[in-house]
Chain A
């Protein structure tokens, strides 16, 4: 048992040049896009002025979805149990079409910026939107950010041997810098660059690893015999525990996407329906993704972007899952380790070392220079998804929570609050590192998966019904969400208490609670919430049609006037802002002569963040009435409409082919 611990510090000139080149490109694109859009308004900063064309939309959808968590998690799970984990990616192909064709048209005609805002318009009241914004922020911090940082840390530790704190703080600082200064436009253009880098780098690694293992057919042959050497299979203390062969032999169905519904690790009904529901939450109702679509120029561009993202989502199976399996074939003793003490020596965790599959490949297979490229890839994945989460969470916070605390807040204040919140999130993420490090028992991934599949389905169900069923009303949606949350917590609590266990030491969670696969549970939760929502809705009075024009799918083309359910609150905010403006004008007239020049530094910061000194005056009653007559436009040119429809069909056919191929 002698593992040569390669501490590869990147210190050769080729690697450093590549990394420097990467940073120059990203910062260059960030600065270039800063000048392209007006960042001083809410629409400009949070929605990129609604001027994006299809390719930044598609690339940005992809880049904000693919994080470093995918590289570590997909490759790791692929190494441990085969290609079924790719179902998570390939399911998204269909869900992303659902987003472009069914959900975004409604969001566009509703004229909203955030998802809680949509629910507020659709149902009225404030409790639903408050619940949604709080739970979204919770999920961002405890699942998305931590999973990305955890896997980034794994990579940096394994491949580079850098200090995690310094590395992560530096990364977060750069990310925060261009999120704060540029707004969504800068983000989406840099995301496009990041997508190129991610795909190019991952392709190079895939090529090298397939050459190393000897081609695809050799992988098929060798994977099932990728066992750790016999001396590493025996328990060092047989009186305490035995190692059954099931714990270290690769699964028989490793090359099947659809597995046995009862005994499989990812049963096929769960893979088909459960992932679709969790994916429905992620792709169709979550701020991070929807915000990118709302920034598009027109609905056709949204759809084209979704198709592009769909095609790109075909790749992770080949770029991440297969290399992970190759890694197990090449390094069965390390990646496929089974004895806890050995695992501890290899990667620092006792449960298993499948998470190091991808970093191990990078370190061992790639030559100088290209290793730097792979680091750039990981940085790109990490930074793009973190930056998206930063931007979206700041949008949520500003638009939904801050406007509630201070209804008189005007554009300029909102801009500043949004940027300050990004800094807060960065601080929280940095404080989160020790927790992430402590939780490096290899189980973090399980927890995160369970957190998502126990909390997300009720949200997906409520959005789905809100958009497609006119009859659903406020009490129905609220009690549905609460009931769903309760059910989810009933499952989550015991799982956290008992732990999810490992192959050697299964958890002693009672079968009744933890026996149901988490994907099955997601389906169950989705339908229970849906039924609850419908039941309560039919018990209580319906919402009149005049409040729902252009807020539900069946009325999306309606041209009637809508009486917003939240108009009182909006009106109150507008009145408060107008009063503040009046007051400001009065004081400014007095101070005008005395205090004309601000300090140079303040002005520089203001310019850097795109905050112009003057802001548009608050619209008067007449202007508001005029603006409300201008309906949002979701009409499409027939030619291009048919073109994107046909493309979507082709993409679905391709996806179905791949599903069939690996079924």
Chain B
């Protein structure tokens, strides 16, 4: 059902043989384990679980084979899509997180600005640019070309 491409027909049989060998070994290990479990009276449910695991294992192994059939560029695109989706979710979460935080900050700044504003009816905040936080404050800009580290 699943197409497995082997580049070299001579070695493909060898590879298949090796693959079968490992599979068989794994199976015998599992069955002996199951036998031990059976003997130790652990109940049927555990056995069922183990069988399920075995089936899942083979299924996932086959799924892996099937995925190899996808062309490279498609796996790349899928990976990018998943990545961008994750980034989008992270962005949304971050946005929600930051929204609540900046609200509380704004309340704080208003309280402090009222302390120094003159109370003649007008409020400094009404003329303050809302975009630039310190638009009407004189900012001292130190712009030296080279900074010497203090030892």
Chain A residues in the interface with B (C-beta under 8 A): 37-38, 41-44, 47, 49-51, 111, 113, 221, 224-225, 245, 249, 252, 410-411, 414, 577, 616, 619, 624, 627, 630, 649, 652-653, 656-663
* A43-B149, A50-B147, A224-B7 known; A656-B79 Cβ under 8 A: yes
Contact present for A627 and B150 (CB under 8 Å): yes
Which of B78, B84, B146, B148 makes the CB contact (< 8 A) with A660? B78
B52: interface (CB < 8 Å): no
- The minimal Cβ–Cβ distance linking A384 to chain B, given in whole angstroms, is 25
Contact present for A649 and B87 (CB under 8 Å): yes
Interface pairs (17), CB distance under 8 Å: A37-B146, A41-B149, A43-B149, A44-B148, A49-B147, A221-B7, A225-B7, A249-B11, A411-B151, A627-B150, A653-B84, A657-B79, A660-B75, A660-B76, A660-B77, A661-B76, A663-B75
* A221-B7, A649-B87 known; A657-B146 Cβ under 8 A: no
* A657-B76, A659-B79 known; A51-B146 Cβ under 8 A: yes
Cβ proximity bits B110-151 to A, threshold 8 Å, 1 near / 0 not: 000000000000000000000000000000001001111111
Chain B residues in the interface with A (C-beta under 8 A): 7-8, 11, 14-15, 72-73, 75-80, 83-84, 87, 142, 145-151
Tell me which residues across on chain B come within 8 A of A414, comparing CB atoms.
151
- The minimal Cβ–Cβ distance linking A20 to chain B, given in whole angstroms, is 35
* A225-B7, A630-B142, A656-B80 known; A41-B150 Cβ under 8 A: no
Contact present for B146 and A43 (CB under 8 Å): yes
Contact present for B145 and A624 (CB under 8 Å): no
Tell me which residues across on chain A come within 8 A of B15, comparing CB atoms.
252
Most buried by A among B8, B73, B84, B147: B147
Instruction: Classify the secondary structure of B's interface with A.
Output: helix
Contact present for A49 and B146 (CB under 8 Å): yes
Assembly CA distance A44 to B147 (angstroms): 8
Tell me which residues across on chain A come within 8 A of B78, comparing CB atoms.
660
Instruction: Tell me the nearest residue of chain B to A249, going by C-beta.
Output: B11
Contact present for A50 and B146 (CB under 8 Å): yes
* A249-B11, A630-B142 known; A661-B72 Cβ under 8 A: yes
- The minimal Cβ–Cβ distance linking A590 to chain B, given in whole angstroms, is 27
Instruction: Tell me the nearest residue of chain B to A628, going by C-beta.
Output: B150
Assembly CA distance A624 to B73 (angstroms): 59
Tell me which residues across on chain B come within 8 A of A38, comparing CB atoms.
146
Instruction: Classify the secondary structure of A's interface with B.
Output: helix
Tell me which residues across on chain B come within 8 A of A224, comparing CB atoms.
7-8
Q: Which 6 A-B pairs have the closest CB atoms?
A: A660-B79, A661-B76, A43-B149, A660-B76, A656-B83, A49-B146
Contact present for B76 and A658 (CB under 8 Å): yes
Assembly CA distance A224 to B56 (angstroms): 31
Tell me which residues across on chain B come within 8 A of A663, comparing CB atoms.
75, 79
Assembly CA distance A225 to B7 (angstroms): 8
Assembly CA distance A38 to B77 (angstroms): 49
Contact present for B149 and A42 (CB under 8 Å): yes
Assembly CA distance A267 to B32 (angstroms): 28
- Give me 10 other A-B pairs in contact (C-beta within 8 A), A410-B151, A656-B83, A660-B77 excluded: A38-B146, A50-B147, A111-B149, A224-B8, A225-B7, A619-B150, A657-B77, A659-B76, A660-B78, A661-B72
Most buried by B among A44, A616, A660: A660
- The minimal Cβ–Cβ distance linking B29 to chain A, given in whole angstroms, is 14
Assembly CA distance A411 to B151 (angstroms): 8
* A630-B142, A657-B77, A657-B80 known; A43-B148 Cβ under 8 A: yes
Most buried by A among B14, B15, B80, B84: B80
Assembly CA distance A292 to B147 (angstroms): 16
Tell me which residues across on chain A come within 8 A of B84, comparing CB atoms.
653
- The minimal Cβ–Cβ distance linking A642 to chain B, given in whole angstroms, is 13
Instruction: Tell me the nearest residue of chain B to A662, going by C-beta.
Output: B72
Tell me which residues across on chain B come within 8 A of A47, comparing CB atoms.
149
Instruction: Tell me the nearest residue of chain A to B64, going by C-beta.
Output: A260
Tell me which residues across on chain A come within 8 A of B8, comparing CB atoms.
224-225
Instruction: Tell me the nearest residue of chain B to A223, going by C-beta.
Output: B7
Tell me which residues across on chain A come within 8 A of B150, comparing CB atoms.
619, 624, 627
Instruction: Tell me the nearest residue of chain B to A573, going by C-beta.
Output: B151
- The minimal Cβ–Cβ distance linking A662 to chain B, given in whole angstroms, is 7
Assembly CA distance A258 to B18 (angstroms): 21
Assembly CA distance A315 to B122 (angstroms): 62
Instruction: Tell me the nearest residue of chain B to A37, going by C-beta.
Output: B146
Most buried by A among B8, B147, B149: B149
* A660-B75, A660-B77 known; A44-B83 Cβ under 8 A: no
Assembly CA distance A656 to B79 (angstroms): 6
Tell me which residues across on chain B come within 8 A of A44, comparing CB atoms.
146, 148
Tell me which residues across on chain A come within 8 A of B7, comparing CB atoms.
221, 224-225
Most buried by B among A44, A410, A661: A661
Assembly CA distance A341 to B58 (angstroms): 43
Contact present for A661 and B148 (CB under 8 Å): no
Tell me which residues across on chain B come within 8 A of A41, comparing CB atoms.
148-149
Assembly CA distance A37 to B147 (angstroms): 11
Assembly CA distance A656 to B76 (angstroms): 7
- The minimal Cβ–Cβ distance linking B109 to chain A, given in whole angstroms, is 14
Instruction: Tell me the nearest residue of chain B to A245, going by C-beta.
Output: B14
Most buried by B among A38, A410, A653, A658: A653
Tell me which residues across on chain A come within 8 A of B14, comparing CB atoms.
245
- The minimal Cβ–Cβ distance linking A329 to chain B, given in whole angstroms, is 13
Tell me which residues across on chain A come within 8 A of B73, comparing CB atoms.
661
Assembly CA distance A245 to B14 (angstroms): 11
Tell me which residues across on chain A come within 8 A of B151, comparing CB atoms.
42, 410-411, 414, 577
- The minimal Cβ–Cβ distance linking B129 to chain A, given in whole angstroms, is 14
Most buried by A among B75, B150, B151: B151
Tell me which residues across on chain B come within 8 A of A630, comparing CB atoms.
142
Assembly CA distance A44 to B149 (angstroms): 9
Instruction: Tell me the nearest residue of chain A to B150, going by C-beta.
Output: A627
Assembly CA distance A38 to B146 (angstroms): 9
Instruction: Tell me the nearest residue of chain B to A619, going by C-beta.
Output: B150
Most buried by B among A49, A410, A657: A657
Contact present for A653 and B147 (CB under 8 Å): no
Contact present for B79 and A616 (CB under 8 Å): no
